[in-house]
Structure 1
Amino acid sequence: MTMRTLMTGCQIATMLPDGAPYGLIDDGAIVVNGREIRWVGPRLDLPQEFAGLEAMDLGGRLVTPGLIDAHSHVVYGGNRAKEFEMRLSGASYEEIAKAGGGILSTVTATRAATQEDLVAAALPRVDAMISEGVTTLEIKSGYGLTPDTELTMLRAARDIAETRRLRVKTTYLAAHAVPPEFAGRADEYIDTVVLPTLRQAHGEGLVDAVDGFCEGIAFAPDQIARVFDLAKGLGLPVKLHAEQLSNLGGAALAASYGALSADHIEYLDDQGVAAMAKAGTIAVLLPGAFYTLKETQTPPVASMRKAGVPMAVATDCNPGSSPMTSLLLAMNMACSFFGLTPQEALAGTTRNAALALGLSDAGVIAAQKRADLAVWDVSHPAELAYTIGMNPLHRRVFEGRFQ
């Protein structure tokens, strides 16, 4: 028998795009039927069919959709604390990468790890995310850069979804960097590693989307296009690390493939904004990397806002440029560094984050959506982006079950 739950005594930030700010309902009620939301609205409008349910009074707390982290590299081996020291001494991200550090140093550690090692190392980071109300997490490969290790990373990501009450969406990112054994031979790496491994990963059901890093220290647009052509042929959606350090036109390229998202985009130009708006491609803002790398070029938030490009916010959790697990902190950074409003920041970790992952069943509180919710000890939604270093989560609800 499917269990029904009635929640009352709460404010509800539905995050529906129309109506009141945050889609806010004062003195609201939510009816959950199994894993699905059955009804939501003002408590006084509760339909008679639910009137007999025993109510769970949430004591005036705020309920939001469960948070969604739409860009993470949470599965990896080792750490790069030493490079943090190097950056503080003046070395740039690009200088570290060209010296064999950066992504490639994590590649070495990841290749040396077993699947079990990778899961064990990732779980404390994942648990920190869950503790802040995250119910859906995207996890990328991209630190193996060999067929076996890329597949191992994806399998580890799938294992995390089995180990924790969390929805995981996997992204294939073998086009993340050119490994040292293919130095100067990026096209050969794509032909012999990236493309055949994508076919194998897809055949094993390990891939939900395909990503790449379009940058001078990684791959050129024409090389990314070859990866996207195969993804399209396999029926997989694409997304792209684009315009982080320079403008190679990656966002416009991604939009031409109907990409779910273009991520980072600090150097995005008007042409890229227009292309994303036309394609419905989500802009995923990653303030953790901006902060860690001490960048000064900010994404063109005002231009995207004017063009109607939806903006998501994610941790970019990774060992080098964003060793951060706090989506709440990312929200605060997006407001403080990039000029988002608290409402935009919350939409960026709920409704728009769902769109960035191609999800239509999450990110808002509405009938027939997943019952993935977060209950907060706050009096107003703006507090979620306002506070720094404070975790006001009261309880998390995943697939209709309280934790």
Structure 2
Amino acid sequence: MSHRLFLIIAVIIRIFKEYKVRSALSVLGVAFGTFALITMVSISNSLQEKSRKEVEKFGKNLIVVKSGQIKVFRGRVHSFSTATTLKVADAQAIQQQIDHVVKALPSYHVSYPVRKGGTTILSTIIGVDNSYLQLKNLSIKEGRVYTDREEETGEKVIVVGAKIAQELFKGEDPVGKTLLIFRVPCRIIGVLEERGADLSGEDQDILIYTPLKTAVRRLANVDYINTIYVQVDDDRYIPYVKRKIKELLRKRHLIKAGEKDDFTVLTPDDYMRMEKEAIHIFSILGSVSATISFLIGGIGILSIMILIVNERIEEIGIRRAVGAKKSDIMLQFLMESSFISITGSLIGVFLGILLSEAVFFAFNLPEALSVSWIVISFVLSAVVGIISGLYPAVKASSINPVDALRRL
């Protein structure tokens, strides 16, 4: 059996040499199909993994209520109107009256210049309960978070992001030092671990956190808030809670039927909608491209194998005359077609892995090569080769040796 296999492989190599251009075109067709499939799956998986990590940064099962009319475009929040109707009492009502709400944290965001010595940078100050850091999976690198007592009294204490510490203190320990936030001196009690941007596109490392009372009374001097963070006990209930929040706030804000909301309720899906749509479209286009390429490769293999059969009728007749069985002829042609497709698959796998790694590196995406899809691409290429070579193999094995020898 091994001797027969060796002879068949030797014949396949000879055929490749004789029909270089046709064989190369067939190989390239399958190669592009495999390449498209592996690249599409790898990049799609990587983008999904990136999205999953961004959701973790955003906060587990988190809904964000913003004052005014907000739209999310390409993951970024754009304000179309402002309002001063959102109150701490609204957050309390959400937590007390809506099922599946674990906590509802009132918050106030304000952008102010932050100064130390002669260096000034613009930062967003977030006044919020100290449990917010845990809600957003933020970790303290140095120092501590503010206490409940400091929240109650509105102490001028802050926890700063990693970039704030780096840019203003240049390696110096910032804990215990003072920053001027819009002419208000505030004492740094903690520095956060570096996090990068979250799902909303906001850089977490340039933010400053302080007690809510400190932000609204000592920094902004207002009696309202502009954000409520609502944590849900299970992600299955996020749509339900979102709907209930809208109903509750419209009722509390006395908004009549037909009037626009003076608030916006956002979920991770709202931030990721365009990204998910882009991933979905990319996956569809990649699948279509891979399918067409495999189809073209299969048609190429079919056409070249039919030509090869027609041009090797005399050879087939001689082999049959010296004792080759129909099954031997069929096996040879099936192996030839499979060899073409598997060769193309090997090239496609190599190129697919190469491009995927390049994309991961260039766009700082997580590694997401799928071994299972590489195996599937091999199986698909073998199936394409067998199916494409089936008709030519049957045709070759059915050639009458007497008729074939008469052509000599």
Same fold (TM > 0.5): no
- TM-score class normalised by the smaller sequence: under 0.3
- TM-score for the superposition, normalised by structure 1: 0.23
Q: Which has the larger radius of gyration?
A: 2
